[in-house]
Amino acid sequence: MTAAWFARRCLLIVYTLLVVSLVVFGITQVLPADAAVTLLGENATPAALAAVRTQLGLNDPAWLQYLHWLGRLLRGDLGISMRTSQPVAETMFVALSRSLLLAILALVLMLIVAVPLGLAAALRRGRAADLVVGLISYLGVSLPEFVTATLLLLLLADWLGWLPATGYVPLTQDPLDCLRHLALPVLTVAVVLVAHVSRMVRSETIDVLHSDYIRAARLKGLPPHTVLLRHALRNALLPVVTIVALDVGYLLGGIIVVEEIFAIPGIGRQLIVAIQTRDLPAIQAGALIMAATYAIANFLADCVYAVLDRRIRYD
Amino acid sequence: MIDLARRLLRTPQGLVGSALILLLAITCVLGPALAPLDPEAIDFLGRYAPPGSAHLLGADQLGRDVLSRLLVGARDTLPLALAATLLGTMSGALLGTLSAYLSGRWDEAIMRTIDAVMAVPGLLLALLVVATLGAGELNAALAIAIAFAPGMARITRSVALAARRMDYVNAAIARGEGGGWIVFREMLPNVAAPVVIETTIRVAFAVMLFATLSFLGLGAQPPASDWGLMIAEARPYLHQAPWVTIAPGAAIALTAIGFNLLGDGLRDAMNPRDER
C-alpha cells in the first residue's frame, strides 16, 4: 500500500461523494414541492413567501444554490428539518450510531456463521453439509428482508415468545435488553449476508484446495488441519473481503427495511419518514450519509485487502 | 437454441427453475380464470378464516380469499418487475457496449461516473428516484430500471472490451461501417450470453425490490393485490392470521428462487466447461 495509491483512493472517494451530492441536490430541483410554501403553510401571503424565497436563496440559479448548499455541507451544516424544525445533522448522526451498531452486530454474526459453513461445504462436497449450504444460499438470496423479518417475527416472537417483537432500548440504558431488542433485526439482515458469503467461501476454498501449494503442503506431511487453516483458509478468505464490502450495500438496504419493520429509530427509518413527508433537507442528509458510509466501507475493504495480500501492488 | 434448451434442462437447477417460471407464466396469463373466488369480494363474517376447504389458503382481514388475491396479484407483480429488469439491463448493456466501442476518454468518463453512481446502494437509489417521481407502481419500476443500469453497464463493458479487439469488429471498421452498425449488429449480439444470464438473475432481485417498495408504501397502491402490498396490509394482523402474510411471502420467494435457479442453469448450459 503506497502513499500514492492511498492518495488516489482518497481522491476517488471525494469524487464519488461529489457525484452523490449532485444527484441528491438534483432531486431537490426536480421535486415539485416549494420550500417556502412548506415552511409557511398554504395560507401565507405572497409578500411573506417572496421574503422567505429571497432569504433561502430560492431565486438564485441552480448552480449557485448548489455551491451554497455544498459550502454549508462542508461546514457540517446539513440544514434544518422541515418536519421537526431541528438541525438535521444532529438527528441523523444519532440515528446513524444506532444503525451502525445493528450493522456491526450483523457482520460479526455473519462471519461466525458463514465461514465455518462454507468450509464445511467445501470439505464435504456433494454431502449433507454441502446441500444445506446450497439450500440456505438459494433461500437467503430469494427472500426479501421484509419477508424474512416477518417470518422470524412470527416464529421467534409470536409463537416461541423468546424475543421482543419491536422497539428499541439504548445500549447505555440496559445493554442486555438492547441486544434482545436488536436480535431479530440483526438475524434478518444476517441471513442474506450468510447466503452470499458462505457460498463464496465454499467456491474459493474448493479452488484453493485444488492448487499446487496445497498439494505440496500435504505431500510435505503437514497435518490436515494445519494445511486447511494456515494455508488454504487464508487464501480462500481474500476474495471474501471484497464480497463483504459489496454486501455493505445490501446491508444498508436491508437496514432501511428492517428498521421500519422493527421500529428502530435508525438512519433508515429517518430516511423513509423523510421521503414519506417530503422533508428535503432530511432526505439529502440521510442519502449523503448512507452513500458516504458505503464509500468508506469499500475503501476500508481495499485497505484490508492490500494489507492481507502482498502479491497485489497498488500503484 | 434447441441444443441450449436441452443442456439447460439437463442441469437440475435449469429443470426446476424452468418449471417454476413456466408455472408463474401460466399464472400470469390465466390468473383471474384460475382464481376460485372473487379476489375483491369482502366477507366480514369470514374474516381471518384459516386455510381449509372454503378458502384453500385462508381469508384475510377483510374476508377476501388469499389464494384468489395471490393468483390475480401475479399480474400486478411479475410483468412490471420483468419490464423494469429488461429496461434496466438493456440500457445498461447498450451503455456498456457503447463505452467499450468509444474507448479512450469517453470510456473513462462514462465508467468513472458509473462507479460513482454505484456508490449509492441499489435500494437507496430506488428510494431516491421514487422520492423524486412520487409513489406508484410505474415509478417504482422505473426506479428499479435506473438502479440496475449502472451494474449492467459495467459487466457488459468488460465483455465488450474483449469483443472490441476481435477481427470481425476491425473488419467492420475497415469496411467503413458506421458506429451504430458496429455497436448494434457486430458487438451487442456477441456480448449476449453474459447479459442474458445476468438479466435472468436480476429478475429475481427486481421482484424482491418491487415487493419491498410496495411494502414500504412507495410502489403499488391499494386496492392492488401486489404481493408486497398484501404483506404490508396483512402485517398488523400477523398474530390472528399468519397465513395472510406467509402465502405472498412464499410466492415472492418461489419466484425469486425460480429465476435464480434458471440463471444458474443458463450459466452452466452456456459455459459447459465450468464445473463448479
Does a structural domain hold residue B49? Answer: no
For the segment A210-218, the average pLDDT, to the nearest whole number, is 82
Contact (CB, 8 A) for A128 and A120:
no
User: Given an 8 Å threshold on Cβ–Cβ distance, is A147 in contact with B261?
Assistant: no
Q: In this predicted structure, what is the pLDDT of residue A33?
A: 57
Q: pLDDT tier at B85 (50, 70, 90 boundaries)?
A: very high
- Rounded to a whole number, what is the distance in Å from the CA of A30 to chain B's nearest CA? 7
Q: In this predicted structure, what is the pLDDT of residue A315?
A: 45
For the segment B29-44, the average pLDDT, to the nearest whole number, is 76
Tally C-beta pairs within 8 A across A and B. Answer: 124
Q: How many domains does chain B have?
A: 1
Does a structural domain hold residue B116? Answer: yes
Q: Which residue range(s) make up the domain with B262?
A: 2-35+59-275
Q: What is this model's ipTM?
A: 0.77
Percent of chain A at pLDDT > 90 equals: 1
Does a structural domain hold residue B47? Answer: no
Q: Which residues pair with B65 in a beta bridge?
A: B59
Does a structural domain hold residue B84? Answer: yes
Which residues on chain B place their C-beta less than 8 Å from a C-beta of chain A?
Answer: 112-113, 115-117, 119-124, 127-128, 130-132, 204, 208-209, 211-212, 215-218, 228, 231, 235, 238-239, 242, 245-246, 249, 252-253, 256-257, 260-261, 276
Does a structural domain hold residue B41? Answer: no
CB distance from A170 to chain B under 8 Å?
A: no
User: How far is Cα of residue A201 from the mean position of the Cα atoms in its chain?
Assistant: 21
Of A16, A138, A249, the CB nearest to B116: A16
Does a structural domain hold residue B40? Answer: no
SS3 of A170, please?
Answer: coil
Nearest by Cα to B41 from B64, B72, B67: B64
User: Given an 8 Å threshold on Cβ–Cβ distance, is B216 in contact with A252?
Assistant: no
Residues 201-220, chain A, touching B (beta carbon < 8 A): 203, 206
Does a structural domain hold residue B145? Answer: yes
Arithmetic mean of pLDDT over chain B: 82
Distance of alpha carbon A82 from alpha carbon A40, whole angstroms: 10
CATH of the domain at B154: 1.10.3720.10
Q: pLDDT tier at A1 (50, 70, 90 boundaries)?
A: low
Does a structural domain hold residue B45? Answer: no
For the segment A207-228, the average pLDDT, to the nearest whole number, is 82
User: Given an 8 Å threshold on Cβ–Cβ distance, is B253 in contact with A143?
Assistant: yes
Nearest by Cα to A146 from B174, B108, B251, B213: B213
Distance of alpha carbon A114 from alpha carbon A197, whole angstroms: 6
Q: In this predicted structure, what is the pLDDT of residue B88?
A: 92
Report the range of poorest mean pLDDT among A20-24, A25-29, A37-41, A85-89.
Answer: A37-41
Q: pLDDT higher for A186 or A300? A: A186
**pTM as predicted:** 0.82
Q: Which residues of B fall within a CB distance of 8 Å from A151?
A: 246, 249
